[in-house]
Amino acid sequence: MNAQFKKGSLELCVLSFIKREEQYGYQLAQNIGKYINIADGTLYPLLRRLVKEGYVDSHFKESTGGPARKYYNLTAEGNAHLESIHEEWKVYTKAVNQLLEDTH
């Protein structure tokens, strides 16, 4: 699948899952993987960026029989940002679909 599409929409996908439920990296990779095929490794730089931008927070939670896991949750700014890019996505994909219909 086209790399540009994936890159552009990954943030939307990540924030959407994190909004539904706070989760750790591996969990997130499994969730997204059910829908689209991504290189799991690209999630962590993205998550770091989202934390720096203040859209996401992280905290460690002990897990039974393993090391503590770093959980990611959405902040208020993150929630607002998600709504905004979700809206943009809807508008943009609707426009592109229309263009394709009109030209084919």
Binding site for another protein (CB under 8 A): 25-26, 29, 39-42, 44-46, 48-49, 52, 66-67, 69-70
* Residue 72 near residue 47 (C-beta atoms within 8 A): yes
Nearest approach, Cβ of residue 33 and another protein (Å) = 8
Cα separation, 41 vs 24, whole angstroms: 13
| Helix/strand/coil for 69 | strand
Nearest approach, Cβ of residue 17 and another protein (Å) = 16
Nearest approach, Cβ of residue 47 and another protein (Å) = 9
Nearer to another protein, 33 or 98 (CB): 33
Beta strands in the chain (DSSP E): 23-24, 56-63, 66-74
